[in-house]
Amino acid sequence: MWRQSTSFAWKNLTDPLVRRQFQKLAVLGDAILPEDKYAEFLRIAADMEDIYSQAKVDNLSLDPDLTRIFASSRNAEDLKKYWVGWRDATGKKIRSQYVKFVELSNEAARANGFNDSGELWREPYESLTFEDDMAEQWEILRPFYLEMHAYVRKKLVKLYGEEVVKLDGPIPAHLLGTAKTFGLSLGLYALPNFTCPLEFSLLPRIPPPECVNGAGNMWGQSWSHLQDITRPFPDKQDVDITPEMVRRNLTAIQMFKISEDFFTSLGMKRMTPEFWHYSELEKPEDRAMVCHASAWDMCADDDFRIKQCTVPTQEDLVTVHHEMGHIQYYQQYADQPNAFREGANPGFHEAIGDVLALSVVTPKHLHKIGFLDKVENDTEAEINFLMSMALEKIAFLPFGYLTDLWRWDVFRGSVDNLNDRWWQLRQQYQGLCPPVRRSETDFDPGAKYHVPGNIPYIRYFFSFILQFQLQEVLCREAGHVGPLHTCDIYGSHAAGDKLAALLRLGSSIPWQDALARITGGSGKLDARPLLNYFAPLRRHIRDSLGNSTVGWTSGDHNICP
């Protein structure tokens, strides 16, 4: 099809939709490589994925073992050990393969008419100023992130002491995946066959799932598991429903049914019989599988699937909605020509499920679906809720931005020291540092699934901004009155119709035009709704910081000071 399409003088066609289809078909991607090089490209990609999926530290896999440890332990030395071990088992082993992979990827990009793979990856955003546009959005968001960083660092200093976390320094990266257990946050949390111990020292190396609040984060991109030490008003309601989900022994199927119910409440599509038959919703016991959740359009009738190692936590319930958002998008644009069966841009695809999740996690909605007994409607409970959201949404922003900044530089050939550049960016944008000295024998970017998986990452940064922009529109359509963070669009067919109209377009028109249709505005990405959503929390953080340092001193980015 690519050979046929590129034989036409399609740029002279007058029908914009036909010309747009040719434009998309004219980019073949990696398959443009000569047969022998394409085979090598695929072999390297498969090898890197195998290394990642089979990696273990002390015979512990990432999911659920290491993530459970990072979600419960407060032993800095243990966390350091597993942090280093995971990077030794993944990134270090794929470094040489990744260098060759970049070489072949760039060769394919040039054959497609681009200077390098980074330029090819940015093509779907249809903007010659895309890099500058993203830099502009980051500068708008950066001051709030710096304040969040200072607030969390202050709490970590109190927990670990200044010998571990410096008052004005970057935060050691291995400390940001740790969290509460039910035992610590709720006292002795009794279950039918287990009582979670109050002290972490009493926990087994891998705490039982019923004692862990979600999954720890190996990369410091989410701080949601620091809720127990960062909650502004500890005596107020905790909106985490994980304990209730565990008490009910909620299954993966039930969690996906909850998500389907949200979509159908908006008048949108149900999942197909093929979805329920072919999806892999729990970790299989008979084989290794990358547990990173993903959604799949098999481009065959009604065959849409999700692969996810689902566990009963609030975090996974949000992930379920995220992945179901992909499926809903697939279903809505299924009647488009094949070339348009994709999101308006990759960031749109990532944002859709997260928009619904903004409603799902509100105390009002959790009460409505029976997981919270009551809703505390006061300022302190509101600030607690916003903090829980910011630990996920705001903490992620710099990581979502810098991951592809690093890869774009690598693709351009402007990086000689791959690991050094990685930690330079992580200190510059995230204010994080590695707990042990890193060198060029390490390859820490490769410890993140999307790097060996060759999945562009700027889409997530884009989507974290877009989802609040879309939420503002949908809440207005649903007739919501009040602050944006209190909005629940569940049951609003008006909001559902508005969203479905956007999804049905696929990529048939530029994303700027699609965004303009739903917002009634200019079609530009806008970070202001995100900042409006968190405005009450930001005021609280500023007040609580007092004379604390905001920002961090720069130094040797390859080791914590």
Residue 367 is among the residues annotated as catalytic for this protein = no
Tell me the C-alpha distance between 117 and 79, whole Å.
Answer: 35
For 40, half-sphere exposure in the C-beta direction (CA atoms, 13 angstrom radius) is 16
**Which one of 107, 210, 260, 350 is the catalytic residue?**
350
Is residue 120 within 8 A of residue 107, CB to CB? The reply is no
Residue 103 is among the residues annotated as catalytic for this protein = no
Residue 82 is among the residues annotated as catalytic for this protein = no
For 419, half-sphere exposure in the C-beta direction (CA atoms, 13 angstrom radius) is 20
**Which one of 147, 210, 315, 323 is the catalytic residue?**
323
Q: Give 309-331 as a 3 state SS string.
A: CCCCCHHHHHHHHHHHHHHHHHH
Alpha helical stretches, state H, 237-332: 242-247, 252-265, 273-278, 314-332
**Which one of 131, 244, 274, 293 is the catalytic residue?**
293
Residue 450 is among the residues annotated as catalytic for this protein = yes
- Residue 431 CB contacts under 8 Å (≥ 6 apart), including other chains: 146, 149, 153, 170, 171, 551, 552
**Which one of 149, 174, 322, 557 is the catalytic residue?**
322
**Which one of 460, 472, 478, 490 is the catalytic residue?**
460
Tell me the C-alpha distance between 117 and 105, whole Å.
Answer: 6
**Which one of 174, 321, 326, 485 is the catalytic residue?**
326
DSSP structure string for 17-40: HHHHHHHHHT--GGGGS-HHHHHH
Residue 326 is among the residues annotated as catalytic for this protein = yes
**Which one of 111, 292, 380, 494 is the catalytic residue?**
292
Contacts 24+ apart (CB under 8 A), 190-194: 191/246, 191/247
Residue 225 is among the residues annotated as catalytic for this protein = no
Q: Largest Cα–Cα distance in the chain?
A: 72
Q: Are strands 171-172 and 432-433 parallel, antiparallel or unpaired?
A: parallel
Residue 460 is among the residues annotated as catalytic for this protein = yes
**Which one of 111, 126, 278, 450 is the catalytic residue?**
450
Count Cβ atoms below 10 Å from residue 47 Cβ, excluding itself: 15
Is residue 218 within 8 A of residue 447, CB to CB? The reply is yes
Q: Are strands 60-61 and 294-297 parallel, antiparallel or unpaired?
A: unpaired
DSSP 218: S
Residue 322 is among the residues annotated as catalytic for this protein = yes
Is residue 329 within 8 A of residue 355, CB to CB? The reply is no
**Phi, then psi, of 57 in degrees rounded to 5:** -125, 120
Instruction: Scan for tokens 């088992």, then name that residue.
Output: 89
Structure tokens at 153: 């660092």
Residues taking part in catalysis = 292-293, 322-323, 326, 350, 450, 460
